[in-house]
Amino acid sequence: MAKPMKVRARNADGVTDVRILMRHDMESGQRKNSDGDIIPAHHIQNVTVRHQQKVVLFAQWGPAVSKNPYLAFKFEGGTPGDPIEVTWVDNKGDSRTDETMIK
């Protein structure tokens, strides 16, 4: 059900630059539907990024992160061909894992 992420990882000068685009409504819990009822919050809570089993970034998110979230960060090391694995879990228990290889 959860839609795939786009994950890009590129190594230059010993530093790997990771860019992730996720697809998620990130419903804020502040909006109302046409009947005036509040639409319940639905958002990613945790993001874990791993390089060869090692966690290189762990995030906690609230509903204030934008719809279809973007996340970019850098870590030292990483070799072209190494796998990068990204997992998110939302507040309804949905999750999604996608993988890419460092270029």
Q: Give just the sign of the alpha carbon dihedral 11, 12, 14, 17.
A: negative
Residue 86 tokens read as: 């990204």
Site pattern 51..80 for another protein (x: CB under 8 A) = --xxxxxxxxxxxxxxx-xxxxxxxxx---
DSSP structure class, residue 23: -
Beta-carbon contacts of residue 12 (< 8 Å; ≥ 6 apart):
none
CA 11 to chain centroid, in Å, comes to 19
User: Which residue type does 80 have?
Assistant: P
Segment 13 to 32, residues that bind another protein, using CB under 8 A = 15, 28, 30-32
Under the binding rule (CB under 8 A), the answer on residue 12 touching another protein is no
Determine the 3-state secondary structure of 95 from DSSP: strand
Q: How far is the CB of 77 from another protein (least distance, A)?
A: 6
CB of 64 to another protein, least distance (A): 4
Nearer to another protein, 31 or 103 (CB): 31
List of residues contacting another protein (CB under 8 A): 15, 28, 30-32, 45-46, 48, 50, 53-67, 69-77, 89
